[in-house]
């Protein structure tokens, strides 16, 4: 057997490092060649990294959110044959995967070592590792909602160990064996991968992993600290005894604590229109049972009076805070926005435009289009107005490298379309917008926006824009101050089209009006030139017959 060190490959964007978004493998996993091992995020896209060899994962380098250098070690494998690294060759200390549980990362021991290393997830004294089973929904991971056991508990087969939540339901996970809990892998709120370690037990007999020697006896306060990874979860609050069920004050849960209930109880509560956050639970660990729903309904949907209180209320005060680590695409968006605001002195210019003629033309084209032509919205007309206006002011169709002091002016118009996707804001690109008619423009906008939203967009479809449209018109809004997509020097933002009373030729008439909010890099575009550009767009849209002339 040999050791193979897989280094992060160059993903072809000239980047020196990439952000590690997520692991698809854990230490101890058997991996096939071309199997996905991790997701990394470059400046432009999320990329799946696949294994170059088949083998067993010995170590993983990095945690989600960390930056990994190109050609730096990513995964170490044990492979058949010689591998590409000698056992004596030093490697950087691997970092254990942090979610859903601390994982021991071990290099192969020398041949003289009398004891072989325990597989991943085996805590000291444990000889059986129970892994999260596939709950039958095709999900790769599930959220750990709460524990029903603690370290040191003696557990019977089929006893409930934990509640996990998938995309569709909360599921009770039961023990497959009798044994003593040695370690719990994960905290409430963490995502646990299917097939990842959930509970480590000490059982009678052989178990399913080689037991590691238990730590030497020590004071209770130090035993947990000295235990090797994964760290045993501290004991949870004991469940109330069956012979003493005091009525809880309010719900008996801490502010922000999630109510525990089975899927059947949750479904029934949903049918009754009851928010479980306001229902006290009388089951183990405050679990809400059907009897609790019956009692809640019998009280008319009110909580039992708090001890010493003067009145009951169905409303609870919200307290506490939630901290979320910003990683992946959300972090890239944050960095990009901060960079644009920090580096670009914005000037925003707003003008109102009479869109009545465009709307009449659009309605006519939609009524007379052929079956293979798309229905037009207003964006193809605005896109064309930008293309035509740039003929007179080509400097606005530029990238500015402020570090080098170089302005790069582009002949083609590669139009960025700011699109909201399930993963956050992305800017797919309509290339050579100057060469497209309204129907081709509409088709291409729909195609690249759809690809960005469903995650199928290629890297080249998400980069290279020379000027951007950001449209919030469908959500309403009178005006906004769009942020320039660095290193571009302008962004155009149409707002909603609404009927307004305006004065035209001395008469009060109702017209379809739209505000156009546009931002410019004031280092490149003077205020006068910004106004001229927007006024040119205004004139074209108010006389749309001129849009496709010449």
Domains of the chain: 2-79 (2.40.50.100), 263-295 (4.10.320.10), 343-546 (3.30.559.10)
182-186, 348-352, 439-443: segment of lowest average pLDDT: 182-186
- 3-class DSSP state of 181: strand
Read off φ and ψ for residue 103, nearest 5 degrees.
-120, 130
Angle at 192 between CA 190 and CA 196, to 5 degrees: 145
User: Could you tell me the sign of the dihedral formed by the alpha carbons of 436, 441, 447, 451, in that order?
Assistant: positive
- Over residues 152-165, the mean pLDDT reads 88
Predicted pLDDT at 36: 92
Element (H, E) at 368: helix 356-368
Q: How confident is the model at residue 415 (pLDDT cuts 50, 70, 90)?
A: very high
Check residue 44 and give its pLDDT: 65
Does the pLDDT at position 220 exceed 60?
no
> What pLDDT does 45 receive?
72
Between 230 and 494, the higher pLDDT residue: 494
What pLDDT sits at residue 87? 57
From the candidates 43, 480, 522, 529, give the one annotated as an active-site residue: 522
Residue 482 has pLDDT above 90, yes or no: yes
Question: What is the percent of the chain where pLDDT is above 70?
Answer: 78
Amino acid 419: pLDDT:
93
Model confidence over 380-409: pLDDT tens digits? Answer: 999 999 999 999 999 999 999 999 999 999
Greatest CA separation found in the chain? Answer: 99
Pairwise CA distance, residues 208 & 550, whole Å: 77
Distance CA 255, CA 479 (A): 39
CB 386 within 8 A of CB 441: no
| 318 has a pLDDT exceeding 60 | yes
Q: How confident is the model at residue 124 (pLDDT cuts 50, 70, 90)?
A: low
Distance from C-alpha of 319 to C-alpha of 462, rounded to nearest angstrom:
41
> Mind listing the pLDDT tens digit for each residue in 371-380?
999 999 999 9
pLDDT of residue 230: 44
Task: For residue 302, give the DSSP letter.
Answer: -
Structure tokens at 263: 């899927």
Q: Are 454 and 490 in contact (CB under 8 A)?
A: no
User: Of these residues, 526, 528, 529, 543, which one is catalytic?
Assistant: 526
Between 37-41, 133-137, 342-346, 513-517, the lowest mean confidence (pLDDT) is in 133-137
Q: Which residue has the higher pLDDT, 518 or 456?
A: 518
DSSP 145-178: EEES--TT-EE-TT-EEEEEE-SS-EEEEE-SS-
Q: Does residue 354 have an active-site annotation?
A: no
Confidence of residue 428 (pLDDT cuts 50, 70, 90): very high
Question: What pLDDT does 103 receive?
Answer: 41
Q: Which DSSP helix (H) or strand (E) runs through 392?
A: helix 379-392
What is the pTM assigned to this prediction? 0.53
Confidence of residue 193 (pLDDT cuts 50, 70, 90): confident
Residue 302 confidence (pLDDT): 57
Across residues 246-268, what is the average pLDDT? 67
Question: Mean per-residue pLDDT for 133-140?
Answer: 69
Mean pLDDT, all residues of the chain: 81
pLDDT value for 377: 95
% pLDDT > 90, the chain: 43
Is 458's pLDDT higher than 50? Answer: yes
Question: CB within 8 A of 479, min separation 6: which ones?
Answer: 350, 495, 515, 517
The SS3 of residue 365 is helix
Q: How sure is the predictor about 286, in pLDDT bands with cuts at 50, 70 and 90? A: confident
Confidence of residue 118 (pLDDT cuts 50, 70, 90): very low
Q: Which long-range contacts (CB under 8 A, 24 or more apart) does 499-508 make?
A: 502/354
Question: What does the pLDDT look like over 528-541, one tens digit per residue?
Answer: 999 999 999 999 99
How much is the pLDDT for 272? 81
Task: Take residue 386 and report the two structure tokens written for it.
Answer: 């930008």
Q: Is the pLDDT of residue 106 over 70?
A: no
What is the secondary structure of 1-20 as a DSSP string? -EEEEEEPPP-SS--SEEEE
Active site residue 432: no
Q: What pLDDT shows up at residue 169?
A: 56
Residue, of 351 and 126, whose pLDDT is higher: 351
């Amino acid at each position: 057997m040999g050791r193979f060190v897989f280094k992060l490959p160059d993903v072809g964007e000239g980047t020196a490092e990439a952000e590690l978004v997520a692991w698809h493998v854990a230490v101890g996993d058997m991996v096939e060649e071309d199997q996905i091992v991790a997701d990394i995020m470059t400046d432009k896209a999320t990329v799946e990294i696949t294994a170059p060899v088949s083998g067993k994962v010995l170590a993983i380098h990095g945690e989600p959110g960390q930056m990994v250098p190109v050609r730096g070690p990513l995964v170490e494998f044990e492979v058949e044959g010689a591998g590409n690294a000698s056992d004596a060759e030093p490697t950087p200390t691997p970092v254990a995967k942090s979610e859903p549980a601390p994982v021991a990362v071990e290099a192969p021991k020398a041949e003289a070592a009398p004891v072989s290393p325990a597989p991943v997830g085996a805590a000291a004294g444990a000889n059986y590792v129970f892994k999260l089973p596939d709950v039958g929904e095709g999900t790769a991971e599930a959220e750990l909602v709460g524990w029903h056991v603690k370290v040191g508990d003696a557990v019977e087969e089929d006893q409930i160990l934990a509640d996990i939540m998938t995309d569709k339901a909360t599921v009770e996970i039961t023990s497959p064996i009798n044994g003593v809990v040695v370690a719990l892998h994960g905290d409430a709120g963490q995502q646990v991968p299917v097939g990842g370690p959930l509970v480590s037990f000490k059982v009678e007999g052989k178990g399913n992993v080689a037991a590691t020697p238990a730590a030497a006896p020590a004071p209770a306060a130090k035993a947990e600290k000295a235990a090797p990874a994964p760290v045993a979860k501290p004991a949870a609050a004991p469940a109330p005894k069956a012979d003493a069920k005091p009525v809880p004050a309010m719900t008996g849960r801490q502010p922000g604590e999630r109510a525990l209930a089975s899927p059947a109880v949750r479904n029934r509560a949903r049918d009754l229109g009851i928010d479980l956050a306001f229902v006290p639970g009388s089951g183990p660990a405050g679990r809400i049972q059907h009897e609790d729903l019956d009692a809640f309904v019998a009280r008319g949907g009110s909580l039992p009076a708090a001890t010493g209180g003067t009145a009951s209320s169905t409303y609870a005060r919200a307290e506490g805070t939630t901290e979320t680590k910003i990683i992946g695409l959300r972090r890239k968006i944050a960095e990009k926005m901060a960079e644009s605001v920090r580096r670009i002195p914005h000037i925003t210019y707003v003008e109102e435009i009479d869109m009545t003629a465009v709307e009449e033309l659009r309605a006519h084209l939609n009524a007379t289009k052929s079956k293979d032509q798309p229905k037009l919205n207003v964006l193809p007309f605005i896109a064309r107005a930008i293309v035509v206006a740039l003929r007179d002011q080509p400097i606005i169709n530029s990238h500015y490298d402020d570090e080098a002091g170089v302005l790069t002016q582009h002949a083609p118009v590669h139009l960025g379309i700011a699109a909201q996707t399930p993963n956050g804001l992305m800017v797919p690109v309509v290339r050579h917008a100057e060469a497209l008619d309204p129907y081709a423009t509409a088709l291409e906008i729909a195609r690249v926006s759809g690809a960005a939203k469903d995650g199928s967009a290629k890297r080249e479809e998400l980069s290279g824009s020379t000027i951007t449209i950001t449209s919030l018109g469908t959500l309403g809004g009178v005006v906004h101050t769009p942020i320039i997509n660095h290193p571009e020097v302008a962004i155009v933002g149409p707002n909603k089209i609404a009927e307004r009373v305006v004065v035209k030729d001395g008469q009060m008439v109702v017209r379809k009006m739209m505000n156009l909010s546009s931002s410019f890099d004031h280092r490149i575009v003077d205020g006068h030139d910004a106004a001229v550009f927007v006024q040119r767009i205004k004139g074209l849209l108010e006389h749309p017959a001129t849009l496709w002339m010449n």
